[in-house]
């Protein structure tokens, strides 16, 4: 991407210019407000009800907007930008189908607590409720999947609403906020005023001070524990608390397992890290959870893919402690003996002042033996290209320093298992909703956030086709994402479940008829490469890494390859199918 394709730094002079109190339209109020919120880039696509806003863009050359080819691409790009940067992602869409095309992306962000401000146009106020052309009640539709939403009915309230929306999206448990702007509101004029102080919103408490006595209870439980485990989730990353977690672990000598969304929140090279837990978790992590006497969940919500059979999860834990910014999560799935509500970074900072080691010497030795005796493994082959080898190759050549986005499926689990993440915000994936089509556009957003950093988008040949049109954006703006396809010619995770759970009854999982991805990339003006064996894989990956600009690499692998270990639905997490290595 061109280096100048981002909003200017909000200098004092620019800020003063934007804050000038003059008569402006609702459209200009929106654009000025976004610049004052230091929004670097907006992703979107125009339509009739939002055309006033797009017309106003012509008068604001400082405002950066990338036009995607589909609204789902726009919101996933905004999501990827937010996850990579920690800032609020922003997208535009028009009314009706434009707004409803955002729903999957809004739900994706909501499930994973990603801060977004979603701007939709709507039909004029007088037509709302009349079933006008391209009218949809998007505020009602998205109420269950937004942290908050607004239907703007007075242009004088627009700047206040925008200010509130950014505050709500980015504080507390983060999440998406939607602002629906009728077409007449975007054209009406009023004096511009933008509030500078943090908004006071009745009933909304963004900061919860942790209870010191609950922190003390956790520290006392640690001192007497012999088999403690920390389950760390995305909350570590959202709170920017990774360094505090590392310090806490080193002081308490407690082994750590990180959820799918927590990967990178604790460095994979640390001796206390056990890998990912759950359905496709490591042997060491799952067995540690099943045999621990103290379980401390830090920013993890006990998702069913982590716990599997809830009644069989952590049966030997005498004490379960749960640290989370959202009190609704504590006790929702598992009975919690020590609840601790608060920002995780703050809680861990306070805990580190008094933290002492657990009695975990023998326990740590047992875990190291499990890591040594039961590592992640696969049956390698010189004749056939293995997907695990491809991920390992990328991990080794990038030294775990890339930002990696994934789509959803087998390749997502292989990345979680075999890519060694070192840093927070380097693993970008759809966890709670499991949204196919997420991988490519989220990588575009991540690359916009970090133009100079290597961004790799790893996809299956099924998911890539759900938003593949966004290759156009990579080409037009020279966004240098390396787009990887793990091509097994089937919906891989569906095929695996049908083999192992549905007794080889394969139903509608074949992707025969998919395009030649190399030719498709070239049709978009992007370099396309293909590999079918190890030597070709190494060569094309080297060429991709040396190419300045976007590249699509099609790694053709065998369709029969499964993700192991695996825990079948309804089983406890220590009932693991180890696969070829068993």
Is position 578 within any domain?
Answer: no
Shortest CA distance to 496 belongs to which of 439, 375, 414, 377?
A: 414
Is position 571 within any domain?
Answer: no
Q: What is the pLDDT of residues 514-536, one digit of tens each?
A: 999 999 999 999 999 999 999 99
In the residue annotation, 147 being an active-site residue is answered as no
pLDDT at residue 580, as a whole number = 65
Give me the domain span that covers residue 543.
Answer: 387-563
Taking residues 205-218, report their average pLDDT: 91
Instruction: Spot the catalytic one: 147, 174, 183, 534.
Output: 183
Instruction: Spot the catalytic one: 133, 316, 361, 401.
Output: 133
Do 351 and 413 lie in a common domain? no
Residue 1 pLDDT grade (very low, low, confident, very high; cuts 50, 70, 90): very low
Q: Which residues contact 514 (CB under 8 A, 6 or more apart)?
A: 461, 465, 487, 489
Taking residues 39-60, report their average pLDDT: 96
Is position 425 within any domain?
Answer: yes
Percent of the chain clearing pLDDT 70 (strictly above): 98
Do 352 and 398 lie in a common domain? no
Instruction: Say how far residue 359 (Cα) sits from the centre of its chain.
Output: 36
Instruction: Spot the catalytic one: 5, 134, 469, 575.
Output: 134
In the residue annotation, 493 being an active-site residue is answered as yes
Instruction: Spot the catalytic one: 71, 135, 470, 561.
Output: 71
Is position 570 within any domain?
Answer: no
| Segments in 133-195 forming alpha helices (H) | 138-142, 158-170, 183-187
Q: Is the pLDDT reported for residue 207 higher than 80?
A: no
d(CA 496, CA 577): 13
Q: Encoding tokens for residue 78?
A: 């905004």
CB-based contact 422:264 (threshold 8 Å): yes
Do 538 and 414 lie in a common domain? yes
pLDDT at residue 582, as a whole number = 45
In the residue annotation, 240 being an active-site residue is answered as no
Q: Encoding tokens for residue 306?
A: 């982590």
Q: What is the pLDDT of residues 133-162, one digit of tens each?
A: 999 999 999 999 999 999 999 999 999 999
- The torsion of the CA quartet 490, 286, 378, 443, rounded to 10 degrees, works out to 50
Q: Which residues contact 94 (CB under 8 A, 6 or more apart)?
A: 45, 46, 47, 48, 49, 50, 51, 120, 121, 134
Mean pLDDT in the chain? 96
Do 29 and 165 lie in a common domain? yes
Residue 6 pLDDT grade (very low, low, confident, very high; cuts 50, 70, 90): low
In the residue annotation, 546 being an active-site residue is answered as no
Do 331 and 391 lie in a common domain? no
Taking residues 453-480, report their average pLDDT: 98
Is position 207 within any domain?
Answer: no
d(CA 324, CA 321): 10
Instruction: Spot the catalytic one: 436, 493, 509, 566.
Output: 493
Taking residues 3-19, report their average pLDDT: 75
In the residue annotation, 453 being an active-site residue is answered as no
Is position 54 within any domain?
Answer: yes
């Amino acid at each position: 991407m061109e280096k100048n394709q981002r909003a200017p730094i909000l200098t004092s002079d620019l800020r003063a210019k934007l804050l000038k109190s003059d008569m402006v339209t609702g459209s200009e109020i929106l654009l000025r407000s976004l610049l004052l919120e230091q929004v670097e880039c907006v992703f979107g696509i125009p339509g009739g009800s939002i055309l006033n806003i797009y017309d106003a863009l012509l008068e604001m050359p400082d405002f950066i907007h990338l036009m995607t080819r589909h609204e789902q691409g726009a919101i996933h790009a905004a999501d990827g930008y937010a996850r990579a940067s920690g800032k609020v992602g922003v997208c535009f869409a028009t009314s009706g189908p434009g707004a409803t095309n955002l729903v999957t992306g809004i739900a994706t962000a909501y499930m994973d607590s990603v801060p977004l401000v979603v701007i939709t146009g709507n039909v004029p106020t007088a037509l709302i409720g009349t079933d006008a052309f391209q009218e949809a009640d998007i505020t009602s539709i998205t109420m269950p999947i937004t942290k908050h939403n607004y239907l703007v009915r007075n242009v004088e309230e627009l700047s206040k609403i925008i200010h509130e929306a950014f505050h709500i999206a980015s504080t507390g448990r983060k999440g998406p906020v939607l602002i629906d702007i009728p077409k007449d509101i975007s054209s009406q004029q009023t004096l511009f005023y933008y509030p500078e102080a943090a908004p006071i919103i009745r009933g909304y408490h963004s900061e919860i001070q942790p209870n010191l006595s609950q922190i003390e209870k956790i520290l006392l439980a640690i001192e007497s524990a012999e088999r403690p485990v920390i389950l760390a989730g995305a909350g570590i990353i959202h709170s920017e608390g990774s360094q505090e977690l590392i310090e806490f672990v080193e002081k308490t000598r407690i082994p750590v397992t990180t959820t799918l969304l927590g990967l990178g929140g604790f460095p994979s090279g640390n001796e206390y890290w056990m890998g990912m837990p759950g359905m496709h978790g490591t042997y060491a992590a799952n067995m540690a959870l099943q045999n621990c006497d103290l379980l401390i969940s830090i920013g993890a919500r006990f998702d069913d893919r982590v716990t599997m059979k809830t009644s069989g999860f952590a049966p030997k834990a005498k004490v379960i402690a749960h640290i989370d910014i959202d009190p609704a999560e504590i006790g929702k799935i598992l009975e919690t003996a020590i609840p601790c509500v608060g920002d995780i970074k703050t809680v861990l900072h306070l805990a580190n002042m008094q933290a002492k080691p657990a009695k975990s010497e023998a326990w740590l030795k047992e875990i190291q033996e499990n890591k040594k005796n039961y590592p992640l493994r696969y049956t390698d082959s010189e004749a056939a290209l293995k997907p695990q080898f491809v991920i390992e190759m990328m991990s080794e050549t990038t030294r775990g320093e890339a930002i990696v986005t994934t789509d959803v499926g087998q390749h997502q689990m292989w990345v979680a298992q075999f890519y060694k993440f070192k840093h927070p915000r380097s693993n970008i994936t759809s966890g709670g909703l499991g949204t196919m089509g997420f991988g490519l556009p989220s990588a575009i957003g991540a690359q916009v956030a970090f133009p100079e950093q290597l961004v790799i988008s790893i996809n299956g040949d099924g998911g890539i086709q759900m938003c593949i049109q966004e290759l156009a954006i990579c080409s037009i703006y020279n966004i240098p994402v390396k787009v990887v396809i793990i091509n097994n010619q089937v919906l891989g995770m569906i095929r695996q479940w049908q083999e192992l759970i549905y007794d080889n009854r394969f139903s509608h999982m074949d992707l025969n008829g998919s395009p030649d991805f190399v030719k498709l990339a070239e049709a978009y003006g992007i370099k396309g490469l293909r590999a079918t064996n190890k030597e070709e894989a190494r060569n094309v990956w080297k060429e991709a890494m040396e190419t300045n600009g976007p590249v699509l690499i099609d790694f053709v692998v065998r369709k029969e390859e499964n993700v192991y270990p695996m825990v079948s639905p309804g089983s406890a997490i220590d009932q693991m199918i180890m696969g070829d290595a068993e």
